Amino acid sequence: MILASVLTTNLAILVLAGFIGFVVISKVPNTLHTPLMSGTNAIHGIVLLGGLLLLGLPGLDGLSKGLLVIAVAFGTINIVGGFLVTDRMLEMFKSKPKPSPKAEVEPEDEEASK
Amino acid sequence: MNPPLATTFLQSESFIYVLYIVAFGLFIQGLRGLSGPTGAVRGNRTAAVGMAIAVVATLLNPGEGNWGLIALGLALGTAVGVPAARNVKMTAMPQMVALFNGVGGGAVALISWVEFRHYGSTYGSHTIHLFGETGSVAITAGGPPTYVAIFSVFAAIVGSISFWGSNIAFGKLQEVIPGRPISFGSAQQGVNAVLLILALAAGIDLVAGAHSELLFIGMLIVAALLGNAVVLPIGGADMPVVISMLNAFTGLSAAATGMALNNPALIVAGMIVGASGTILTNLMATAMNRSIPAIVAGGFGGGGAVEGASGAGEHAGTVRSTTAADAAIQLAYASRVVVVPGYGMAVAQAQHAVRELASELEQRGVDVKYAIHPVAGRMPGHMNVLLAEADVPYDQLKEMDDINPEFQRTDVSLVIGANDVTNPAAHNTPSSPIYGMPILEVDDSRSIIVIKRSMNPGFAGIENELYFDPKTSMLFGDAKSAVSEITAELAQL
């Protein structure tokens, strides 16, 4: 009975999380597709937690430990690399402080001709 | 075996859960930010903070151990991930994302493998302590409940597919592997089906209690072959969609791992990625005018080539269409924009609309210039006249020889109704009728937006290779209304 409730609770979480995922990404401009993909990509690096939890198990043999270290390393690459790359991509969308090599004064444009 | 963790740790268990819940909130908030232009940077950082909290919460787990190995894994991952992300060239971004996605899938597969090793030895003889995560779960003799094995095996298969599929995608984008489809031809679908059935059969056997680790490894290998077999036949141009699809797969496999480990953080984060990744894959496919089944069956149907590609030689690729809203965002975040007007602008009498767009951009600090090709329009100076009529300052109008060196430093070239004067075939394709004609080298700029009524060829009656350039997006429509729409969208940003 308790088992069933653990399973059903987790299934409920699973289903609700799925709906959240659908709802959050409703309308995305094309320009942001790649950064968004990269950002969600970083989030599934959460599998790192699985590796961390398993490393806490007693009685792991050498091979298991080795596999888990690789898994933790992979998960870390996924997270750290993913977020950093996304950040770099998004930096490009920020309006840069523009060096204006030529003083092209616009008669009707107050903003540009400061 | 774990010491029974019951009430003594309840406090910290609850605390860990609270931290997880905070992390979920940050993930969701972060993704919301990432789906709009204004909050994207903050969104990404929000999600990263959520991740850090989730990791710390997990390390607080009372059953945690092997700290040296944990530190080793984290250090290795950081040592590889940070420089890779820092140093990768902007043009190589997609394959970097593929690689990061792949290692995520690999981690899932390895974790499932260790789960199997652990359970395999204790099967049927041990108390289940679902990894000390929740004291309340320790129950029943007789091995883990069947669903744990099902989710674990599912995660192993999908993780392995994702790992290998992503690596192939990386190889193709990096041009380590030829970008063109590689396939078994008409046997491809059959091969894929056989591999899938083999993997599933092995999985079912394992769930049913086959204790063979060899069988598990065999299953991972079959799934690996399947990952290769699915992605190899897909052409390079469709790769971004494929990566997004594999990204969703990895998310799902992470969620499955969470179900097996009874860890809500994995379930929530994995499932959100699985769901949003699926939506995103669909959006990307739509934006590229492709359907997902057509892409996956690409090698089979030989898709990917453009119909009507002729004259200027072979260019495998697809035309990407965009919307006024996207074009506005692209322009707003540029620092240098070059407008390339052509006959289309003249026909639509769009010069005033263009002038308004340029003013709007300049108010945002964007540097706007106009590139005037000698034969743009139907007469020399046609464009200069029209633009002067719209009060475009003369010194912003640049002649071809002056502006060509500048395209390399241009973020967005906005081609308005110009065609042949931008066709790179004049440089690249000796067989082309316009080979040798001087052109505006817009294909040197970082991205190109082409406003055009249709895909009809221009005056010279030949295809324009520029439209098939991956940097190019097409905004179909009348020049005047399209430009006005962009201006309107820009005003709302």
Tell me, yes or no, if B420 is annotated catalytic. Answer: yes
Q: Which residue has the higher pLDDT, B232 or A73?
A: A73
* A24 domain residue, yes or no: no
CB B132 within 8 A of CB B2: yes
Contact across the interface for A18 and B272, Cβ inside 8 Å: yes
CA separation for the pair B187, B265 (Å, rounded): 41
* Predicted pLDDT at B147: 82
- Overall domain count for chain A: 1
* Predicted pLDDT at B197: 95
CB B116 within 8 A of CB B154: no
Residue B338 backbone phi and psi in degrees, to 5 = -115, 125
- The single-letter DSSP state of residue B3 is P
CB B99 within 8 A of CB B166: yes
* Complex ipTM: 0.82
- Edge-first strand order for the sheet with B336-341 is B397-399, B367-372, B336-341, B412-416, B447-452, B472-476
> Amino acid identity, residue B39?
G
Residue numbers in chain B where pLDDT is lower than 70: 1-11, 90-91, 120-143, 179, 235-237, 287-290, 297-317, 375-382, 433-434, 456-462
CA separation for the pair B295, B334 (Å, rounded): 31
> Which residues are within 8 A (CB) of B487 and not within 5 positions of it... i.e. 6 or more apart?
B328, B353, B356, B357, B360
* pLDDT interval class at A99 (50, 70, 90): very low
CA separation for the pair B124, B95 (Å, rounded): 44
Q: Both tokens of residue B269?
A: 């984060």
What pairs with residue B452 in β-bridges? B476
Q: Considering only CB atoms, which chain B residues are within 8 Å of A52?
A: 55, 58-59, 61, 64, 70
- The single-letter DSSP state of residue B287 is H
Q: Considering only CB atoms, which chain B residues are within 8 Å of A71?
A: 73, 106-107, 110-111, 114
Q: Are strands B447-452 and B412-416 parallel, antiparallel or unpaired?
A: parallel
Contact across the interface for A106 and B362, Cβ inside 8 Å: yes
Contact across the interface for A46 and B90, Cβ inside 8 Å: no
The alpha-carbon gap from B461 to the nearest alpha carbon of chain A, in Å, equals: 30
Residue that has been written with the tokens 């931008």 in this structure: B422
B142 touches chain A (CB under 8 A): no
* A88 domain residue, yes or no: yes
| Predicted confidence (pLDDT) at residue A97 exceeds the cutoff of 50 | no
CB B61 within 8 A of CB B133: yes
CB B53 within 8 A of CB B23: yes
| Predicted confidence (pLDDT) at residue A98 exceeds the cutoff of 60 | no
What is the extent of the structural domain holding A87?
31-94
Q: Both tokens of residue B239?
A: 């790769």
- The single-letter DSSP state of residue B7 is G
| Predicted confidence (pLDDT) at residue A36 exceeds the cutoff of 90 | no
* Predicted pLDDT at B275: 94
**Of the listed B391, B395, B401, B420, which one is catalytic?**
B420
The secondary structure of A76-110, three-state, reads HHHHHHHHHHHHHHHHCCCCCCCCCCCCCCCCCCC
Consecutive H or E run containing B450: strand B447-452
Q: How many CB atoms lie within 10 A of CB B154?
A: 21
The candidate with the shortest Cα–Cα distance to B398, out of B386, B388, B384, B385, is: B384
> Amino acid identity, residue B338?
V
Q: Are strands B412-416 and B397-399 parallel, antiparallel or unpaired?
A: unpaired
* Predicted pLDDT at B143: 60
Q: Considering only CB atoms, which chain B residues are within 8 Å of A8?
A: none
Contact across the interface for B81 and A29, Cβ inside 8 Å: no
Residue B474 backbone phi and psi in degrees, to 5 = -105, 135
> Amino acid identity, residue B229?
A
A114 touches chain B (CB under 8 A): no
What pairs with residue B341 in β-bridges? B416
Taken as a whole, chain A contains a residue count of 114
The candidate with the shortest Cα–Cα distance to B445, out of B476, B414, B419, is: B414
* A11 domain residue, yes or no: no
The secondary structure of A11-76, three-state, reads HHHHHHHHHHHHHHCCCCCHHHHHHHHHHHHHHHHHHHHHHHHHHCCCCCCHHHHHHHHHHHHHHH
CA separation for the pair B357, B104 (Å, rounded): 44
**b/e string for B30-44 if b means 16 or more Cβ within 10 A?**
bbbbbbebeebbebb
pLDDT digits (tens, 9 = 90+) for B396-448: 888 888 899 989 999 999 999 888 788 888 888 877 766 777 788 898 899 99
CA separation for the pair B376, B399 (Å, rounded): 11
- The single-letter DSSP state of residue B391 is T
B61 touches chain A (CB under 8 A): yes
Q: How many helices and strands (H and E) does chain B possess?
A: 18, 8
Q: Considering only CB atoms, which chain B residues are within 8 Å of A57?
A: 2, 63, 65, 118, 131-132
Contact across the interface for B64 and A52, Cβ inside 8 Å: yes
* A103 domain residue, yes or no: no
Q: Considering only CB atoms, which chain A residues are within 8 Å of B25?
A: none
37-96 in A: which are within 8 Å (CB) of B?
Answer: 37-61, 63-65, 67-96
In CATH, which superfamily holds the domain spanning B324-492? Answer: TPP-binding domain (3.40.50.1220)
Contact across the interface for A41 and B367, Cβ inside 8 Å: no
Contact across the interface for A51 and B73, Cβ inside 8 Å: yes
Q: Are strands B397-399 and B139-141 parallel, antiparallel or unpaired?
A: unpaired
Preferred mutation among B21, B88, B103 to probe A, highest tally of A CBs within 10 A:
B103
* Predicted pLDDT at B468: 86
* Predicted pLDDT at A90: 80
| Predicted confidence (pLDDT) at residue A95 exceeds the cutoff of 50 | no
Give chain A's radius of gyration (CA, Å).
Answer: 24
CA separation for the pair B40, B154 (Å, rounded): 33
* Predicted pLDDT at B23: 96
Burial of B438 (0-12, 13-18, 19+ CB in 10 A): middle
Burial of B90 (0-12, 13-18, 19+ CB in 10 A): exposed
Q: How many helices and strands (H and E) does chain A possess?
A: 5, 0
CB B264 within 8 A of CB B20: yes
